Structure 1
Amino acid sequence: MPQEFDARFGAKYSELVTAVWSSDEELQKLLEDPTAYARRAGLPVEQGATVIVDRAQPSTMYTKDEIMADWNSAPGRHVLHVPETPLIDPSELTESELDAVAAGRAPEDDNNINIVAVIFI
């Protein structure tokens, strides 16, 4: 996939997860109709596809590659990982990582920092 698509997907995914972690109302909307919610959030939902929400709490953070692979894993189905709670505390990030997340960009030496944006609630 083009890098531009990856960056756009990462930003939209981060916004969606942050909204859900920040609001019980947003969580309810997601759970009521995940496919429509993902589309409204700007995620690329294939025509006729269903979005499945995975609320399992992983032991480590998902990488960007894992999130993308699961989203595109099966025709007609997208898996959207939205863990119950964030896995990292913003106080654990370096100043440059916080700046990158706030700016919506990844440092050149870290492809996965875009996904770190999902930790902010």
Structure 2
Amino acid sequence: MAFTDDRKDEFVAAYTQVLLASWSDDAYANRLDENPRSALAEAGLFLPEGVAVQITRADTASDDPADFESQSTAVRLERQVQRYVEGLRTGLVVLHIPETPQIDTSELDLDELDEVAAGVVSCCCCPCCCCG
């Protein structure tokens, strides 16, 4: 069976749900490790009978972690799609679950806040209401 754009979109949507659930719910992340087929189905990712699944928390396609981190999200996602398609063909789907992204929650200092609140405008385009 060909891997159509619709099937790719379905995979990407389900894989995204897997990532979000894994990053936000420790119980789901544990289920993903203990019973991946069931946990993937919870997120809408159903694997055909006879296809095994392996969850990795490290990028196994490269020996250099910096190589993975230097790639754009789109490149990493496309790599996962390729792994999924290959896994459907070979009978072993390997899904990479990246580490939970860290969000900078530090507070702005007074100078940074002043820049935002004061409305510093550096307009380089056509006249608009913010340029005067």
Using CA pairs under 8 Å that are at least 6 residues apart, name the structure with larger relative contact order, 1 or 2. 1
Partner residue, 1:41: 43
Q: Name which of 93, 106, 116 aligns with 1:78.
A: 93
Q: Which moved more, 1:13-22 or 1:55-64?
A: 55-64
Q: State the 1:63 CA deviation.
A: 3.0
Partner residue, 2:4: 2
Structure 1: where are the runs of 5+ without partners? 91-121
Q: State the 1:72 CA deviation.
A: 2.3
Checking the alignment, whether the CA contact within 8 Å between 1:53 and 1:80 is kept in structure 2 is yes
Please state whether the residue corresponding to 1:72 is helix, strand or coil. helix
Larger Rg: 2
TM-score, structure 1 as length reference: 0.63
Structure 1 segments, 4+ long, off by >4 Å, are none
Q: State the 1:9 CA deviation.
A: 0.9
**For this pair of structures, how many residues does the alignment match?**
89
Q: Deviations over 1:4-36 (max 9, x none)?
A: 111111111101110000011110110111122
Partner residue, 2:30: 28
C-alpha RMSD of the superposition: 2.2
| Paired AA for residue 80 in structure 1 | L
Q: Share of identical aligned residues, percent?
A: 28
TM-score, structure 2 as length reference: 0.59
